[in-house]
A and B are shown apart, each in its own frame.
Chain A
């Protein structure tokens, strides 16, 4: 089945992973900014990272017929350093006109600090100023509930924000309700140990329905699974879900979200055929 991977850190993965993704049906990937494993020393390092995301990674993906898109930001963990965050945010606008850039992300909170929250708000303001999509990371484990509440409260302070252009990711059983009730799009990250398992993700689809829900691997340099989305497809089939429901979660929903960016292109002729009679943005 064709699928879109709406959140993967491919810069930290091998070219073989791109090939495996293509072989399992991946037609497009959206890559947000991530923590590199140690804090960067200057905004120059981020500028190099942004060039990789907008120059090298699209070329690497294209070798296997995969479209590559990028979100830019300073990630939530390093965003706690306000001085560095301001310097990085100042440099983002000159990259926003690059053809594969679709938004600001993954912004959000890591340890729910005041500094992280201020950097998060600066990013949201930037996204609104430049009409960019927003991808949001919510904290892990015991910090997730509080972090998700703080993020939603901060987003709601922006009166001109359209919640349909915001994907709040890493949702779990105790946060998905508040995300959906607030009108935001909702991502489930299929990740070993600290996030969502395949079976629990299918439980959530069964409980909440397929509307506005996405799944992603968020694969990075840590213990993660680039082929998580096809594994989710297998788990949905194991539960006897029809193919159209599966396709909605792994293809139609991410396509509707990403198509709100003018830089996003329909990934394949097959996908184009599926759009006949529909608004591409799903609005």
Chain B
């Protein structure tokens, strides 16, 4: 893969102007989803579900400051095995 610096044609302010509100909206949706899980009426700990656990691992990726966060999150949410399912 080529050097990614400058691959986005917008500058930082332009990216913020174009995408801040959308990203704010999506982040609030995730926060509200996690709140909703906590409020679910059966009281089961959502962390016991592999989907919720994967989501929390993905949120850690958002905070770690590393590159290619989208790709990294896709890998967290992927079946890592290589053999086909029997049926």
Contacts and interface: CB of A to CB of B under 8 A. Distances in A.
A65 to B, nearest CB: 33
Please classify how large the interface on chain B is, using the bins under 10, 10 to 19, 20 to 34, 35 or more. Answer: 20 to 34
A172 B10 CA distance: 22
Interface string A141-159: 1111110011000000000
Contacts of B80: 145-146
A238 B4 CA distance: 19
A241 B9 contact: yes
Contacts of A207: 1, 4, 7
Contacts of A141: 77
B74 interface: yes
Interface stretch (A1-9, A22-30, A113-121, A248-256): A113-121
B86 interface: yes
B8 interface: yes
A146 B86 CA distance: 14
B85 interface: yes
A142 B79 contact: yes
Contact of A239 (B4, B10, B87): B10
A199 interface: yes
Contacts of A117: 84
B36 to A, nearest CB: 17
A173 interface: yes
A113 B9 contact: no
A174 to B, nearest CB: 4
A158 to B, nearest CB: 17
Interface residues of A, number: 31
A114 B85 contact: yes
A117 B74 CA distance: 23
Interface in B10-55: 10, 18-19, 22
A55 interface: no
A56 B70 CA distance: 41
Contacts of B82: 146, 149-150
Interface in A114-169: 114-117, 141-146, 149-150
27 contacts: A111-B85, A113-B84, A113-B85, A113-B86, A114-B84, A114-B86, A114-B87, A141-B77, A142-B77, A142-B78, A142-B79, A143-B79, A145-B75, A146-B80, A173-B68, A174-B74, A177-B1, A203-B8, A206-B9, A207-B7, A208-B1, A238-B18, A239-B8, A239-B10, A240-B9, A240-B10, A241-B9
Interface of A: 80, 111-117, 141-146, 149-150, 172-174, 177, 199-200, 203, 206-209, 238-241
The 10 A-B residue pairs with the shortest CB-CB distance, nearest first, are A145-B78, A174-B74, A173-B71, A240-B9, A206-B7, A113-B85, A173-B70, A146-B79, A114-B84, A142-B79
